[in-house]
Amino acid sequence: MGSPNDWDLMKPAADALEALGVASDVRVISAHRTPARHHDYVVGAADAGIEIFICGAGFAAHLAGVTAALTRLPVLGVPLDSSALDGIDALLATVQMPGGIPVATFGIGKAGAKNAGLFAGAILARSDVSVAKALEEYRAAQTAAVPETPF
Ligand code: RP5
């Protein structure tokens, strides 16, 4: 995420991963203010065992796009509603990538962060039976929690 202040919005991604038994490495990395930290973390990520990036940023959100430029690993982008434009600026900056450098972009804010975490789990579930089982159980519990009537 681009700022410590983004944690409140991005925590649902970490929570979703934890619910699936997937370890996450949470970092504050600013595409604009810590470019060297950004570069070094991303280029070293594959060797460090990172499999997927989830990048949350607000304003002119370049974190996900620049991350995708530096790695072939999947990059999931979460536009954050931390600016006067309520995340519309970050949404457009994240989703409108030029052809050739894909960023899978999710909804603005907490719901997008949660879905990015679940989607990362779905990717990992393709080759990890324990994550697949956890994801099935998560979905079953979610379904069971929906009442048939409002009374
Ligand atoms: C913060 O600046 C926002 O919430 C956003 O995530 C971040 C963007 O950081 P830069 O990459 O532009 O430094 O205030």
Tell how far the Cα of 9 is from the centroid of ligand 1, in angstroms.
Answer: 13
The pTM of this model reads 0.96
E-assigned strands of the chain? 53-57, 75-79, 104-105
Where residue 38 falls (left for φ over 0; alpha for ψ -120 to 50; beta otherwise) is alpha
Residue with CA closest to ligand 1 atom 5: 58
Tell how far the Cα of 3 is from the centroid of ligand 1, in angstroms.
Answer: 6
Run means of pLDDT, 10 residues per run, the chain, 151 residues: 95 98 97 97 96 98 98 98 97 98 98 98 98 98 97 94
Q: Is 3 close to ligand 1, i.e. is its CB under 6 Å away?
A: yes
Tell how far the Cα of 110 is from the centroid of ligand 1, in angstroms.
Answer: 16
Helices and strands (DSSP H and E) totals, the chain: 6, 3
Tell how far the Cα of 46 is from the centroid of ligand 1, in angstroms.
Answer: 24
